[in-house]
């Protein structure tokens, strides 16, 4: 997911997306441990998307605190 798309989303949408990505990460890790993945790099991509969303949410939280 691109950072521009993340910035355009509202905070509730980002929180929803974050929970979906965390569940997807769990499924990917479980699948990797049990029978292997076709694309193990998918775990890295999902982790980066989670970090991006957390960063934007934190930036918004800090901006609200300043106001």
Domain that holds residue 62: 3-66
Q: What is the Cα–Cα distance from 26 to 2, expressed in whole angstroms?
A: 22
**Tell me: the pLDDT tens digits for 20-29?**
999 999 999 9
pLDDT band, residue 37 (cuts 50/70/90)? confident
Q: What's the mean pLDDT in 23-43?
A: 93
Asked if residue 19 has pLDDT above 90, the reply is yes
In the prediction, which pLDDT does 54 show?
97
Residue 60, exposed/middle/buried by CB under 10 A (0-12, 13-18, 19+)? middle
33: domain CATH number is: 1.10.287.310
Please tell me the total count of domains within the chain: 1
């Amino acid at each position: 997911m691109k950072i521009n798309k993340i910035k355009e989303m509202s905070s509730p949408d980002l929180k929803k997306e974050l929970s979906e990505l965390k569940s997807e990460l769990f499924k990917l890790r479980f699948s990797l441990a049990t029978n292997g993945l076709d694309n193990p790099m998918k775990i890295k991509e999902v982790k980066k998307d989670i970090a991006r969303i957390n960063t934007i949410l934190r930036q918004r939280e800090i901006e609200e605190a300043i106001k």
